[in-house]
Structure 1
Amino acid sequence: MDRLTPAARSENMSRIRSRDTKPELRVRKALHAMGFRFRLHRRDLPGRPDIVLPKHRTVVFVHGCFWHRHSGCPNAAEPKTRAEFWRRKFEANVARDAKARAELERAGWKVVVIWECETGNPETLERVIRERLPAPAVRAPARENRGTA
């Protein structure tokens, strides 16, 4: 039995975002600080990746552990109510993720998944990024005196 009324549950579910989530913003902030430059939510790519690194031909999906079924993660616990509904929902999500990944890889893209539970600690997140992504291009430092004084 759900603890919330149908109206309260509907309100709660309507507030769940598909983009610009806290985990996604953490990953974007870390990537930018590490020197990566990227594009967001490219509609022309399968699965509309959260982050696209065109220079590296790499896409990044920042997956919520619950919605995308992070195996072995405590955040991916099964809901106790409407079990059959949720089972079908999660199976469809995982199948959609696999299809998008396969299409991207066939098109020559490297696909990286960063899980929500990997974004909470900045040091852990930086390590995950370094392990899974190519090194960013190093930008030349800005010149200090650009004009005449």
Structure 2
Amino acid sequence: MSRQNSRDTAPEVAVRKLLHAAGLRYRVNVPVPGLSRRTIDIVFSKAKVAVFLDGCFWHGCPQHATQPKANAEWWRTKLDKNMARDMETTEHLTAAGWTVLRFWEHELPDHVANVVRNAVLSARSRK
């Protein structure tokens, strides 16, 4: 597990390049305010938009998640905790007034970037 990239994954980099090309500026891997040891993948601080690009295996994608056969109970517990932590993080940020966008790693970068761009522009226009 220590060899798994927690940041700068291929889907993240692809989406970030598209957002940057669209003229949007953001911060990367920012700690979640008020929650320790959690980070937001892409952050638009002033607009209060938090973007998470979740891996299918680690975060339980309904389409692509697999169940390991070796040590299955331990893995099930671990992956369930990951999903619970994701929900808690989303609820925490939403309660603090953030727009939280979550995407799966298999989603097309163009689609993700368009949704994020629209959310950021919408949030900026409300201020």
TM-score w.r.t. structure 2 length? 0.82
> Does 1:14 find its partner at 2:8?
no
Cα–Cα, structure 1 residues 78 and 58, in superposed 2: closer, same or farther, change >3 Å? same
Please tell me whether the aligned partners of residues 34 and 136 of structure 1 are also in contact (alpha carbons under 8 angstroms). no
Identify the residue that residue 125 of structure 2 maps to in structure 1: none
Picking from 96, 102, 105, the partner of 2:91 is 102
Q: 1 or 2, which has the higher strand percentage?
A: 2
Q: Please tell me whether the aligned partners of residues 56 and 134 of structure 1 are also in contact (alpha carbons under 8 angstroms).
A: no
Q: Identity over aligned residues, as a percent?
A: 43
CA contact (8 A) 1:58 1:110 kept: yes
Seen in structure 2, the aligned counterparts of structure 1 residues 44 and 112 have a Cα distance that, compared at 3 Å, is closer
1:21-100 paired onto structure 2 within 5 Å: 21-45=9-33, 46=35, 47-71=38-62, 73-74=63-64, 76-100=65-89
Q: Secondary structure at the match of 1:78?
A: coil
**AA at the equivalent of 1:33:** A
Please state whether the residue corresponding to 2:103 is helix, strand or coil.
strand
Count of residues in Structure 1 that have an aligned counterpart in Structure 2: 118
Q: How far did 1:20 drift?
A: 1.4
Q: Deviations over 1:74-96 (max 9, x none)?
A: 2x111121110111001100011
Runs ≥4 in structure 1, deviation > 3 angstroms? none
Match of 1:114 in 2: 103
**Quick one: distance in 2 between partners of 1:125 and 1:93?**
23
Distance of 1:28 and 1:89 partners within structure 2: 29
* Root mean square deviation, CA, Å: 1.8
Given the two structures, how large is their TM-score scaled by the length of structure 1?
A: 0.71
Gapped regions of structure 1 (runs ≥ 5): 1-12, 119-123, 138-149
Maintained 8 Å contact 1:39/1:51: yes
Q: Is the CA contact (8 Å cut-off) linking 2:41 and 2:53 kept in structure 1?
A: yes
Distance 1:14 1:136, change over 3 A: closer
Using the alignment, how far apart are the partners of 2:120 and 2:93 within structure 1? 21
Structure 2 unmatched ranges of 5 or more = 122-127
SS in 1 for 2:4: coil
